[in-house]
Amino acid sequence: MTKTVPQSERKHIIFAGRRNAGKSSLMNKFIGQDLSIVSSSPGTTTDPVKKSMELLPFGPVVLVDTAGIDDEGELGEKRISKTVKVISEGDFVIVVLDGQNNLSKYETELFDQLHQLEIPYHVVINKSDLGINYELVNSLKGLKLNYSTVSCVNGDSIHQLKEKVSKLVPDELDHPLISDLVKQHDIVVLVVPIDLGAPKGRLIMPQVQTIREALDEDTIVVVAKDKELRSALNSLSRKPKLVITDSQAIMRVAADVPEDIPLTTFSILMARYKGDLKEYMKGINRIDELENGDKVLVAEACSHHAQEDDIGKVKIPRWLRLHTKKDLQIDIKNGHDFPENLKDYKLIIHCGGCMLTRKAMQVRIKQAKFMNVPIVNYGVAISYMHGAMPRAIEIFEDAISEWNNKN
Ligand SMILES: Nc1nc2c(ncn2[C@@H]2O[C@H](COP(=O)(O)OP(=O)(O)OP(=O)(O)O)[C@@H](O)[C@H]2O)c(=O)[nH]1
Ligand code: SF4
Ligand SMILES: [Mg+2]
């Protein structure tokens, strides 16, 4: 069983804390092997050390040991930024403290960052065999943080900690595309423009996935090109529950769909499924706050073959300049990692991330949040700049409330 679950699909549990707190010792105790090097000289762990294991009763996980968050010097800073990246990719963090120390700014900053990234964590006071500093305990109590006390030297309370962590690691949530929006016998109309951008002889993934999920819910799926939409709607004897369109055709489609029929786009469904629609509303709100000279990052997760009039390289920058009427500096980047200078940007407009796993897309959103840079994806931004908001998000409560906060 341990070997059959790929690492990318396992929950990642990160051991984080200051140098010498006992992160490597604790990870070794979890796996029952001396995998990560332990030594009394601070800064022993430099690169993240990963190990897959079965954490019962939870299931398959990856444990990740990291370098200290208080590392020093130029190299130390590089290690810290690597550690921050690893932490932001984590599903759960074990914050390890040396029971002899007081709480420092390193830990309180880490707690703040974890809150901001919405990553659950548990505090572990290590080295209980040496006695515990009560100031440390009081500081944790003052912050209303639960903690466990262990010793990696004599093994005290390690078993209980493993059981506790196993219960605290968040289980996978169900992320529906449309199954929560429709029910049996509902009619769903999908608008699929077949233009030059459409792949020859097939439909694109979001369309195929939507059809499949709608069929799984026993709904009736009607698929039409935008030109046939009006006639498709007229031929129905019942009102459809929902119309879903490609975002580039949203305005043409909106004109043909009566106001009392909910309308959204494939990109918005995908944004909710893979990204974070509520967070993307903050990105939308940022568009109208942009000023002359502001930097905007257009990020693509892969280097797909660019077409003439490419959406990321040409259309999004053009629409953004037209919409804002500002002289913006727009950087277009593609690749597996975000650029390092994220905080220089006022806004990130990200591709749909069809080649990314949900987790990888979530990591990018977390990194943007971490740097306080609002993020939105192409489809949601296009719907906004084409005047289709708030109509296209009206059926999503959390998104519409975020929208209403600002508008
Ligand atoms: N007395 C006592 N010493 C411990 C305990 N856990 C770890 N140590 C010692 O603390 C020192 C640091 O342990 P490590 O596990 O290397 O700490 P680390 O947090 O991984 O340190 P870096 O990799 O340098 O960031 C070593 O000398 C360990 O033997 C414990 O529970 N009790
Ligand atoms: S949307 Fe998909 S194909 Fe396009 S850049 Fe992003 S990951 Fe690549
Ligand atoms: Mg270490």
**What is the number of other CB atoms lying within 10 angstroms of the CB of residue 130?**
12
Q: Is the CB of 76 under 6 A from ligand 1?
A: no
Within a domain: residue 178? no
CA 112-116-119 angle, to 5 degrees, is 95
Residue ranges of the chain with per-residue pLDDT less than 50? 1-3
Residues 20, 80 within the same domain:
yes
- The per-residue pLDDT for 26 is 98
Within a domain: residue 103? yes
Q: Is the CB of 35 under 6 A from ligand 1?
A: no
Ligand 2 atom at minimal distance to the Cα of residue 378: 1
Within a domain: residue 264? yes
C-alpha to C-alpha distance for 217 and 200, rounded to whole angstroms: 28
Within a domain: residue 177? no
Q: Is the CB of 22 under 6 A from ligand 1?
A: yes
Nearest CA-CA partner of 183 in 214, 209, 208: 214
- Under 8 Å CB-to-CB from 147, ≥6 apart: which residues? 97, 122, 123, 124, 125, 137, 140
The CATH number of the domain where 66 resides is what?
A: 3.40.50.300
- The per-residue pLDDT for 407 is 74
Residues 324, 393 within the same domain:
yes
- The per-residue pLDDT for 2 is 39
Which of 298, 355, 378 to probe ligand 2 with, by most ligand atoms within 8 A of CB?
A: 355
Residues 369, 227 within the same domain:
no
pLDDT cut 90: percent of the chain above it: 66
Which of residues 219, 249, 268 is at a domain's end? 268
Query: How far is CA 295 from its chain centroid?
Result: 22
- The per-residue pLDDT for 1 is 37
Residues 261, 317 within the same domain:
no
Residues 246, 376 within the same domain:
no
Q: Is the CB of 132 under 6 A from ligand 1?
A: no
234 phi and psi angles, rounded to 5 deg: -65, -30
Within a domain: residue 73? yes
The CATH number of the domain where 363 resides is what?
A: 3.40.50.11410
Residues 107, 63 within the same domain:
yes
Q: Which long-range contacts (CB under 8 A, 24 or more apart) does 317-322 make?
A: 319/382, 319/385, 319/386, 320/287, 320/296, 320/349, 320/381, 320/385, 322/385
Q: CB of 349 within 8 A of CB of 287?
A: no
Ligand number nearest CA of 39 is 1
Within a domain: residue 181? no
C-alpha to C-alpha distance for 214 and 151, rounded to whole angstroms: 53
Residues 152, 200 within the same domain:
no
Residues 223, 152 within the same domain:
no
- Which residue in this structure is represented by tokens 């439909």? 203
Q: Is the CB of 333 under 6 A from ligand 2?
A: no
Within a domain: residue 333? yes
The CATH number of the domain where 236 resides is what?
A: 3.40.50.11420
Residues 59, 154 within the same domain:
yes
265: its two tokens:
């786009």
Which of residues 250, 268, 286 is at a domain's end? 268
Which of residues 236, 251, 268 is at a domain's end? 268
Residues 228, 142 within the same domain:
no
C-alpha to C-alpha distance for 229 and 286, rounded to whole angstroms: 33
- The per-residue pLDDT for 305 is 61
| Centroid of ligand 2 to alpha carbon of 334 (angstroms) | 9
Residues 233, 292 within the same domain:
no
Note down the domain range covering 291: 276-406
| Centroid of ligand 3 to alpha carbon of 231 (angstroms) | 66
Residues 303, 220 within the same domain:
no
- The per-residue pLDDT for 212 is 93
Q: Is the CB of 352 under 6 A from ligand 2?
A: yes
Alpha helix ranges (H) inside 185-244: 205-216, 229-234
- The per-residue pLDDT for 3 is 41
Within a domain: residue 332? yes
Q: What domain count does the chain have? A: 3
